[in-house]
Structure 1
Amino acid sequence: MVSILAIALVVILLYQLSKVGRRPKGCPPGPPTLPLIGNLHLMPKKQGHLQFQKWADEYGPIYSLVLGTQIMIVLSSDLAVKDLLDKRSGIYSSRPDMYLGQDITSGGFRMVLMEYGERWRIQRGIVHNSLNIKASRTYVPYQDLESKAMLLGFLEDPSQFFNHIRRYTNSISTQMIFGFRTLDIHDPKLERLIHGFEKWSEIAGSQSAALLDVFPILRHLPDFLLPVKKYARELHAKEYDLFVGHYLEAKRKLKEGKAKPCICADIVRAQDEMKFSDGAAGYLSGTLLEAGSDTSASTLIGFIQALLIFPEVSALAQAELDRVCGDRIPDLNDLPNLPYIRGCIKESLRWMPTAILGVPHAVIRDDEYSGYHIPKGAGVMLNVWAIHNDPSRHPDPRRFDPSRWIHNTQTSAESANNADASKRDQFVFGAGRRLCQGIHIADGNLFLAISRLLWAFDIRRSVNKFTGKEIIPDMEDLTEGLVVCPNLFSADIKPRNSLKAEIIRSEWKKTMELLDDDLQWKSVPEGLVWRDYEPLDTEEI
Structure 2
Amino acid sequence: MDYIHSFLSCPVLGISCGVILIFLEIVVHDVYLWTYLPPGPCPILLVGNKLQIPSKHPGIKFQEWSRIYGPIYTIWLGRRPTVVISDPSIASELLEKRSKKYSTRPRFVTMGEIYWDMASILVQPYGKEWLIRRRLLHSALTPRALEHYKLLQPAESSRLCYQLLEGAAEWESLFDRLASSIVFAVSYGHRVDSAKSPVIRQRLEFMQYASSLNAPGAYLVESFPMLKYLPDWIAPWKAEIKRRGCLEAEANMALVRVVRQDIESAKQSPGAEPLFNSLTKQLLETRDSDPTAFPLTERD
Q: Could you state the TM-score of these two structures normalised by the residue count of structure 1?
A: 0.47
Q: Do the aligned partners of 2:58 and 2:216 also contact (CA within 8 Å) in 1? A: no
Aligned counterpart for 1:252 among listed residues 251, 261, 268: 261
Query: Structure 1 counterpart of 2:102, which letter?
Result: Y
Q: How does 1:46-195 map to 2 (within 5 A)?
A: 46-195=56-205
1:193–1:159 distance in 2 versus 1, CA, 3 Å: farther
Aligned counterpart for 2:49 among listed residues 39, 55, 58: 39
1:6–1:104 distance in 2 versus 1, CA, 3 Å: closer
Q: Do the aligned partners of 2:180 and 2:195 also contact (CA within 8 Å) in 1? A: no
1:139–1:260 distance in 2 versus 1, CA, 3 Å: closer
Q: Do the aligned partners of 2:53 and 2:216 also contact (CA within 8 Å) in 1? A: no
SS at match of 1:71: strand
Q: Distance in 1 between matches of 2:25 and 2:132?
A: 38
SS at match of 1:72: strand
Query: Structure 2 counterpart of 1:237, which letter?
Result: C
Question: Cα offset for 1:64?
Answer: 0.6
1:222–1:21 distance in 2 versus 1, CA, 3 Å: farther
SS at match of 1:208: coil
Aligned counterpart for 1:262 among listed residues 259, 274, 278: 278
Q: How does 1:203-214 map to 2 (within 5 A)?
A: 203-205=213-215, 207-209=217-219, 211-214=220-223
Question: Cα offset for 1:214?
Answer: 1.0
Work out the percentage of aligned pairs sharing the same amino acid: 23
2:271 is aligned to: none
1:199 is aligned to: 209
Q: Give a deviation string over 1:400-423, Cα, whole Å, max 9, x none.
A: xxxxxxxxxxxxxxxxxxxxxxxx
Q: Give a deviation string over 1:39-81, Cα, whole Å, max 9, x none.
A: 1121122221111111111001111112212011111223422
Q: Give a deviation string over 1:480-526, Cα, whole Å, max 9, x none.
A: xxxxxxxxxxxxxxxxxxxxxxxxxxxxxxxxxxxxxxxxxxxxxxx
Q: Do the aligned partners of 1:38 and 1:67 also contact (CA within 8 Å) in 2? A: yes
Q: Distance in 1 between matches of 2:276 and 2:245?
A: 29
SS at match of 1:194: helix
Aligned counterpart for 1:237 among listed residues 224, 239, 246: 246
Bigger drift between 98-107 and 215-224 goes to: 215-224
Q: Distance in 1 between matches of 2:212 and 2:16?
A: 44
1:218 is aligned to: 227
Query: Structure 2 counterpart of 1:14, which letter?
Result: F
SS at match of 2:54: coil
2:272 is aligned to: none
1:215–1:12 distance in 2 versus 1, CA, 3 Å: same
Greater fraction of residues in helix: 2
Q: Do the aligned partners of 1:39 and 1:67 also contact (CA within 8 Å) in 2? A: yes
1 or 2 for the larger relative contact order (CA 8 Å, sep ≥6)? 1
Q: How does 1:363-442 map to 2 (within 5 A)?
A: none
1:76–1:185 distance in 2 versus 1, CA, 3 Å: closer
Q: Distance in 2 between matches of 1:222 and 1:160?
A: 48
1:206–1:223 distance in 2 versus 1, CA, 3 Å: farther
Query: Structure 2 counterpart of 1:269, which letter?
Result: E
1:231–1:255 distance in 2 versus 1, CA, 3 Å: same
Query: Structure 1 counterpart of 2:207, which letter?
Result: F
Q: Distance in 2 between matches of 1:55 and 1:263?
A: 40
Aligned residue pairs: how many? 279
Q: Do the aligned partners of 2:49 and 2:75 also contact (CA within 8 Å) in 1? A: yes
Q: Do the aligned partners of 1:164 and 1:185 also contact (CA within 8 Å) in 2? A: yes
Q: Do the aligned partners of 1:21 and 1:33 also contact (CA within 8 Å) in 2? A: no
Q: Distance in 2 between matches of 1:41 and 1:58?
A: 18
Question: Cα offset for 1:230?
Answer: 2.6
SS at match of 1:73: strand
1:12 is aligned to: 21
1:132–1:271 distance in 2 versus 1, CA, 3 Å: closer
Query: Structure 2 counterpart of 1:265, which letter?
Result: K
Instruction: List 4+ stretches of structure 1 deviating above 6 A.
Output: none
Q: Do the aligned partners of 2:77 and 2:217 also contact (CA within 8 Å) in 1? A: no
- Confirm whether residue 278 of structure 1 aligns to residue 287 of structure 2: no
Q: Could you state the TM-score of these two structures normalised by the residue count of structure 2?
A: 0.82
Question: Mind listing any 5+ residue stretches in structure 1 that lack a counterpart?
Answer: 281-541
Question: Cα offset for 1:221?
Answer: 3.9
Q: Distance in 1 between matches of 2:185 and 2:99?
A: 32
Q: Do the aligned partners of 2:181 and 2:192 also contact (CA within 8 Å) in 1? A: yes
Q: Give a deviation string over 1:261-297, Cα, whole Å, max 9, x none.
A: 32223322343313421221xxxxxxxxxxxxxxxxx
SS at match of 1:257: helix
Q: Distance in 2 between matches of 1:185 and 1:6?
A: 61
Query: Structure 1 counterpart of 2:66, which letter?
Result: A
